């Protein structure tokens, strides 16, 4: 019994020594085997993920590759040179032209697609509608993403879709593609705020005027080339020519457009859109500029829409080619704009240049309205003075409002251009209606009213006024800040939108400051 108890006690004792080592070694082997199996599975998954991540990184790196000279260096930000200014103007010329190629050849499109003239006019209308959509929904994105890849992507997308316009024989498809290309043609409206960021403050207006002149040249080139090419060859050739011009623009920008960081990382897109509305109703300067831009655009489109009817009727009875030659008047604007901006806009308060441009335009409209029915000198004077005055006033207005908030320049530009686009629509409708009822004098009188009201809006609020109306800060037309040691605002610095801003805000050595 004692032995049995002894054996029992011995059997209940914990095992040590060799036996325990054997058991432990077996457990360790099993655990190690399981661990190795788990590690092997984990390493395989990690390896697959790293391969996918590596492939994605390589693709992203290829897509984001840029020449060394284009890469952004915060210690040495890109210098805004004349060659860069010309490059942006050239790019604006051959992108904004997309909107105007179809306008002189709508009758040819109607014949080729076997549709009515009214149906063919939808091509131009949908191109403009697409442009409006891009203006409202794409341009604000430029305040949240890097501009270089965004601009290159839009040009590439538009140029690629453009191939369909060159090839399709279905009119409905042609209309749809025209709308999509119009959406992507907003790149000039991304370049203007970019100039506002890169150009030094004392040269901002003249630099903007170069790009704006490029846009005017694009309108001229599109209308003239389209009419000439379609008159002597197939209309599709002008679309192939436009396709090549867009890819040439893409290549030039790829190799020479500098990178610039996103100014508002993490900004909510829908809040940004709502912020545009808030700025318009809370910033007196922006409201004043938008109303003037609306009235300027209304008078501009009213004139150019009704001019065709005037010149095609007695006593002129000009051909479509002769009427198209009036587009060459745009050369005067292209030549005068940078000179005007350098001598006047950059030296005096922006409001002075705005009102002076409006007055210049007002005189031309009055002369043309009352002599245009019996001498072609009237429309010629009207075209020169209106195009020039409009260009001067728009450039000064943009230079002015771009100082509101350096980190929101694309949204400010969107607000301004939405008003300008609405003015174009109203001007076309009002001009056509009044011309049908009372002829050239009636439509011209509406233009006098548009510009007259714009002048009143301009002089109702002084250049240094922080409120909605008045001249409490004085009548001096010279700028308070004459320093020329200005540089673009840093992407991390800005004036808060809620801060009362006047038109004399300027950036000096990377800091936005207010001059009263």
pLDDT digits (tens, 9 = 90+) for 280-296: 889 999 999 999 999 99
Indicate the range of 37-41, 81-85, 209-213, 298-302 predicted with least confidence. 37-41
CA distance 156 to 92: 14
Beta bridge partners of 506: 513
What are residue 257's phi and psi, to 5 degrees? -75, 120
- Peptide linkage before 267 cis (omega within 30 of 0): no
pLDDT at 171 over 90: yes
Of 308, 288, 471, the residue nearest 396 (C-alpha): 288
Helix (H) or strand (E) holding 313: none
In this predicted structure, the answer to whether residue 39 has a pLDDT above a threshold of 50 is: no
Q: pLDDT digit string (tens) for 59-99?
A: 566 657 777 777 877 777 778 888 888 999 999 999 999 98
119-137 pLDDT, tens digit per residue, is 887 888 788 888 888 988 8
User: What b-and-e string marks burial along 230-267, b requiring 16 or more CB atoms within 10 Å of the CB?
Assistant: beeeebeebbbbbbebbeebbeebbebbbbbebbbeeb
Contacts with 377 (C-beta within 8 Å, 6 or more apart), sequence order: 371
SS3 (DSSP) at 330: helix
- Residue 265 scores a pLDDT above 80: no
Average pLDDT (139-149) is 86
Tokens describing residue 1: 């019994």
Query: Token pair 């060659």 is at which residue?
Result: 83
pLDDT in tens, 491-512: 433 333 333 333 334 333 333 3
> DSSP alpha helices (H): ranges in 313-408?
320-324, 330-340, 350-371, 377-401
Q: Which residues pair with 478 in a beta bridge?
A: 348
Is residue 450 a contact partner of residue 295, using CB atoms and an 8 Å limit?
yes
CA angle 291, 295, 299 (to 5 degrees): 170
Q: What would you measure as the largest C-alpha separation in the chain, in angstroms? A: 142
**Which H or E run contains 267?**
none
Q: How many CB atoms lie within 10 A of CB 106?
A: 17
Q: Which of 7-21, 26-40, 329-343, 470-484 has the highest mean pLDDT?
A: 329-343
Coil vs helix vs strand at 461: strand
d(CA 441, CA 112): 37
Name the phi and psi angles at 148, rounded to 5: -55, -60
Contacts of 126 (CB under 8 A, 6+ apart): 175, 178, 179, 182
Report the pLDDT value the prediction gives residue 493, as an integer from 0 to 100.
38
Gap between the terminal Cα atoms of the chain? 112
Tell me the angle at which helices 350-371 and 377-401 cross, rounded to the nearest 10 degrees. Answer: 160
The CA-based angle 98-100-101, given to 5 degrees, is 75
User: What are the φ/ψ torsions at residue 393 (nearest 5 degrees)?
Assistant: -70, -40
User: Does residue 515 surpass a pLDDT of 60?
Assistant: no
The pLDDT value given to residue 291: 94
262 pLDDT exceeds 90? no
Going by pLDDT thresholds of 50, 70 and 90, the confidence category of residue 100 is confident
Query: Is pLDDT larger for residue 484 or for residue 428?
Result: 428
For residues 89 and 460, give the distance between their C-alpha atoms in angstroms, rounded to a whole number: 33
425 contact partners, CB below 8 Å, separation of at least 6: 301
Strands 506-508 and 511-513: antiparallel
Question: Which residue shows structure tokens 């949908």?
Answer: 126
pLDDT higher than threshold 60 for residue 312:
yes
Q: Taking a C-beta distance cutoff of 8 angstroms, is the pair 389, 361 a contact? A: yes
User: If you average pLDDT over every residue of the chain, what do you get?
Assistant: 78
- The structure's pTM equals 0.71
- Angstrom distance (rounded) from CA 218 to CA 91: 9
Q: What is the rounded distance in angstroms from the CA atom of residue 363 to the CA atom of residue 233?
A: 41
CA angle 231-312-392, nearest 5°?
A: 85
Let me know: does 280 contact 290? Beta carbons within 8 Å: yes
DSSP letter for 237, please.
Answer: H
Contact 395, 212 (CB under 8 A): yes
- pLDDT for residue 176: 94
Q: 488-497: b or e for each residue (b if 16 or more CB lie within 10 Å)?
A: bbbbeebbeb
CA 167, CA 415: separation in Å to the nearest integer?
36
Retrieve residue 48's tokens.
């697959």
Instruction: State how far the Cα of 75 lies from the Cα of 156, in Å rounded to an integer.
Output: 31
- CB-based contact 272:334 (threshold 8 Å): no
């Amino acid at each position: 019994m004692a032995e049995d108890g002894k054996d029992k006690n011995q059997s209940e004792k914990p095992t040590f020594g060799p036996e325990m080592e054997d058991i432990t070694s077996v457990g360790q082997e099993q655990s190690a085997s399981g661990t190795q199996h788990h590690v092997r599975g984990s390493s395989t998954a990690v390896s697959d993920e790293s391969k996918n991540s590596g492939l994605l990184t390589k693709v992203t790196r290829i897509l984001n590759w840029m020449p060394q000279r284009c890469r952004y260096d915060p210690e040495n930000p890109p210098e805004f040179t004349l060659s860069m200014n010309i490059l942006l103007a050239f790019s604006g010329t051959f992108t904004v032209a997309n909107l105007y190629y179809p306008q002189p050849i709508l009758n040819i499109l109607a014949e080729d697609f076997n549709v009515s003239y009214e149906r063919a006019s939808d091509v131009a209308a949908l191109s403009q509608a697409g442009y409006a959509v891009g203006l409202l929904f794409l341009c604000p994105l430029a305040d949240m993403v890097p501009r270089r890849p965004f601009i290159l992507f839009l040009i590439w997308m538009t140029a690629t879709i453009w191939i369909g316009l060159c090839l399709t024989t279905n009119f409905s498809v042609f209309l749809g593609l025209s709308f999509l290309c119009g959406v992507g043609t907003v790149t000039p409206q991304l370049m203007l705020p970019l100039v506002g960021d890169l150009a030094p403050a004392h040269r901002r207006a003249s630099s903007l005027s170069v790009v704006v002149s490029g846009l005017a040249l694009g309108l001229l080139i599109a209308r003239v080339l389209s009419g000439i090419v379609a008159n002597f060859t197939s209309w599709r050739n002008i679309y192939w020519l436009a396709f090549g011009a867009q890819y040439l623009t893409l290549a030039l920008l790829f190799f020479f457009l500098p990178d610039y960081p996103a100014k508002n990382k993490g900004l909510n897109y829908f809040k940004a859109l709502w912020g545009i509305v808030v700025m318009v109703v809370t910033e007196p300067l922006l409201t004043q500029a938008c109303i003037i831009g609306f009235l300027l655009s209304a008078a501009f489109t009213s004139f150019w829409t009704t001019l065709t009817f005037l010149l095609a009727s007695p006593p002129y009875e000009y051909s479509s080619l002769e009427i198209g030659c009036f587009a060459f008047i745009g050369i005067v604007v292209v030549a005068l704009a940078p000179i005007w901006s350098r001598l006047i806009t950059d030296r005096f308060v922006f409001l002075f240049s705005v009102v002076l441009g409006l007055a210049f335009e007002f005189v031309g409209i009055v002369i043309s309205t009352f002599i245009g029915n019996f001498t072609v000198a009237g429309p010629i004077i009207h075209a020169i003075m209106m195009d020039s005055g409009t260009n001067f006033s728009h450039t000064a207005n943009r230079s002015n409002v771009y100082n509101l908030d350096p980190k929101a320049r694309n949204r400010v530009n969107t607000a301004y251009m939405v008003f300008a686009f609405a003015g174009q629509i109203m001007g076309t409708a009002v001009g056509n209606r009044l011309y049908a009822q009372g002829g050239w004098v009636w439509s011209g009188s509406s233009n006098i009213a548009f510009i007259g009201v714009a002048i009143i809006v301009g002089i109702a609020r002084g250049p240094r006024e922080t409120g909605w109306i008045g001249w409490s800060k004085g009548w001096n037309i010279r700028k308070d800040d004459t320093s020329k040691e200005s540089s673009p605002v840093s992407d991390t610095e800005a004036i808060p939108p809620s801060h009362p801003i006047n038109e004399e805000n300027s950036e000096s050595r990377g800091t936005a400051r207010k001059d009263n």
